[in-house]
Amino acid sequence: MTYYAILHKPTGCYLPLSRGGGKRGFTYAQPDGDRPPRLFTRKQAATLALKWWLGGPAIVRWYEDGLVLEGQKPDPTRKADEMEIVAVKITPTPTEA
């Protein structure tokens, strides 16, 4: 099976899964070699996620009607030419009975 991940070329680290817990989402993630990479089933989905990540952390506010995206805080350290979407092949190995 082929998945796609977002690689930070200078460090060789991948953008990880977001920590969850309702506090911070994927746009706050930093390339990390200690956490599992976020995998996408389609290259187009990885491309869109990278575009959002390059825009900087999302600024959201909770209102009575729900969550509203108010913009993104640009991060000049995030550079498109340092990032690459790579194919990741996962092949199952036979299990011993």
Distance, in Å, from the CA atom of 83 to the CA atom of 54, rounded to the nearest integer, reads 9
Q: How confident is residue 19, by pLDDT bands cut at 50, 70 and 90?
A: low
Give the pair of three-digit tokens for residue 63.
Answer: 């209102």
Q: What is the pTM of this model?
A: 0.85
Mean pLDDT of 74-95: 95
Give the pair of three-digit tokens for residue 22.
Answer: 């309702």
pLDDT, tens digit, 9 for 90 and up, residues 21-60: 556 788 999 999 999 999 999 999 999 999 999 999 999 8
- Judge whether 26 and 14 are in contact, CB under 8 Å: no
